[in-house]
Amino acid sequence: MNMPDDGNGQAGVGPPAEQLIAVEFARVLGSGREALVVTVTGEIDLHTVARFRAAVADGLEQVAADETDGLALVIDLRDVSFLGSPGLQALVEVTRAARRRREPLRIVVNHTRPVVRPIELTGLDGLLALYNTVDQALHTGA
Amino acid sequence: MDPTGNPNPPPGGEANGQTPPTREPESRSRTPPDRLRLRLPGETIAPSVARKQLRGWLAALRWPPAQADDILTAASEAVSNAVEHAYAGHPPGPVNLHATVETRPAGQRRITLVVRDEGRWRPAPVEDEYRRRGIPMMRAFMDTVTIEALTDAEGHPQGTRVVMTSPLAPPVE
């Protein structure tokens, strides 16, 4: 609904978001199913969420534009050390956007407490498609 | 030693001469300070600065790591909220974070966090989902959470104060 700006023009104070969060894209083939894996490293909070949001939106665009049958988008959060409510909100938004566009989206979290706890305590484990590994995320049917 | 700890130390620290936000690494033998005072810029970097400083302080207090994570998260959410207030149509104002530790007679300890902004109280708009998620997170991670809209004698808004107390932590061995 209220898509915030993408943060490109964000001046702000302190180290740029790029120093606090890193994003990598990779094409992965796992047991017959292909995925675009977006791996996020660092902290997802008020300062870095615009970059995170832009990365997952970009991933969704790539998956939607791709001709590969059943290509999934996987967001790998296992190297995320902090996940605040701005990041939770971004996850909810990309999940809804993927559903609207009928693109499969999976989110990988291991048992790292700083990521799993906020998701569970806000009840979002019922909404987000969560898996423990990228492999598991790719084993599941559409 | 990470130099990015506090990119914006307040000029001259707090007027009342309390513990400044940037502390030298302390030797383990010294008693850690019983309070932490931060005056943060009302900018998006503030939550991460608050987490970093609190993490160091709680480690010095030998707080159980899992409980420390919860306190950091609650503080981060409160500071995020304050920054969002300060941003809404006004020049960003400061966000003050004050943390104290209290020891019970039996040795159990508890942290009290006070996060105060000088912005205007505004209820979360209906579409502002994540703010509505931030406050439940604070409540889930802390024992008590109180949010007060401050006014002066004439009823003019003077900011918002969030007071949170942590669950009790076991005594230091």
Radius of gyration of chain A (CA): 14
d(CA A54, CA A17): 12
Tell me if B47 and A89 make a contact (CB, 8 A cut-off). Answer: no
User: Other C-beta atoms within 10 Å of B24: how many?
Assistant: 6
Tell me if A122 and B73 make a contact (CB, 8 A cut-off). Answer: no
Nearest CB partner across the interface for B129, out of A15, A19, A89: A89
Q: Residue A106: which residues within 8 A CB-CB, separation 6 or more?
A: A35, A72, A73, A74, A75, A129, A130, A131, A137, A138, A140
Tell me if B130 and A86 make a contact (CB, 8 A cut-off). Answer: yes
Tell me if B44 and A10 make a contact (CB, 8 A cut-off). Answer: yes
**CA proximity to A36, closest of A127, A134, A125, A109:** A134
Tell me whether residue B120 is exposed, middle or buried, using C-beta atoms within 10 angstroms of its C-beta: 0 to 12, 13 to 18, 19 or more: middle
Taking only the tens place, the pLDDT of each residue in A39-67 is: 999 999 999 999 999 999 999 999 999 98
Q: Nearest C-alpha of chain A: how many angstroms from B44?
A: 5
Q: Is residue B36 within 8 Å of B57, Cβ to Cβ? A: yes
Taking only the tens place, the pLDDT of each residue in B13-33 is: 444 444 445 544 544 556 778
Q: Nearest C-alpha of chain A: how many angstroms from B163?
A: 19
Taking only the tens place, the pLDDT of each residue in A99-111 is: 999 999 999 998 7
Nearest CB partner across the interface for B77, out of A47, A85, A92: A85
Sheet with A130-131, side-by-side order of all strands: A21-30, A33-44, A72-83, A105-108, A130-131
Q: Nearest C-alpha of chain A: how many angstroms from B20?
A: 18
Taking only the tens place, the pLDDT of each residue in A8-17 is: 334 456 777 7
DSSP state of B30: S
**ipTM of the assembly?**
0.83
pTM beyond 0.95, yes or no:
no
